[in-house]
A = this chain, B = another copy of it.
Amino acid sequence: MLAAPLIRITIYEDNALLREALSVLVQVTDGYELRGAFGDCLAVEAQTAELQPDVVLMDIDLPGMSGIEATLRLHRQFPAVDVLILTVFDDDGQVFDAIRAGATGYLLKRTPPGRILDAIREVYEGGAPMSPAIARRVMQSLHPTSSMRELEQLSSRELDVLKLLAQGRSYKLVAAELGIGLETVRTYIRRIYEKLHVHSVTEAIARYRA
């Protein structure tokens, strides 16, 4: 940390006051360099190409183009640039949309300034800082849900079948791949439906991948 490299930053935040506050924060702190701060992300690609930031601080609710859309474009065109979302939204939809769009970190706006600076450095150094509540959601999204427990009732052969179905195979293909008859596959599927209380392949798969 002694010879911490300079981290180049751009900011996208439509609230002028907050944008100014963030800009000043970054400007007055050693180890950080503000390359630009904007009220919308309509020209995010050109600006990124020109300003060459290491880390982009991105709000979500921006006029014209959402920060999520901007993140998606950025992540496509400049995979080496890390996007750190800074927003008031903490609902699952926004959070996971942003992550899927390629965000590297996700902070809520109530994050104290010092923590924001830490997070920028953490992103730069290969981390993925998240506000605690966000981290918990992300973690939970990887936990198998209680409905997964029902899967434990399935026999190993039934699981084989379900697994292949979940990969998009038809009954015929499942039968071929497992080396059993089509009727046998049907039988397993009926038992799977009974055990999982569903009535179609798609429902069963939805349970399987819940």
Contact = CB atoms under 8 A, between A and B. Distances in A.
A133 B143 contact: no
Interface string A138-172: 11111110000000000000000000011111100
A64 interface: no
Contacts of A140: 128
Interface of A: 96, 99-100, 102-105, 122, 125-133, 135-136, 138-144, 165-170, 198, 200-207, 209
Contacts of A126: 132-133, 136
B198 A142 contact: no
A142 B127 CA distance: 15
Nearest 6 pairs of A and B residues by beta carbon: A127-B132, A168-B206, A168-B203, A128-B135, A128-B139, A128-B136
Contacts of A128: 130, 132, 135-136, 138-140
Contacts of A142: 96, 99-100, 138, 141
6 contacts: A99-B142, A99-B143, A100-B144, A127-B131, A138-B142, A205-B205
A142 B75 CA distance: 14
A168 B168 CA distance: 14
A41 B135 CA distance: 27
Nearest to A143: B102
Contacts of A204: 168
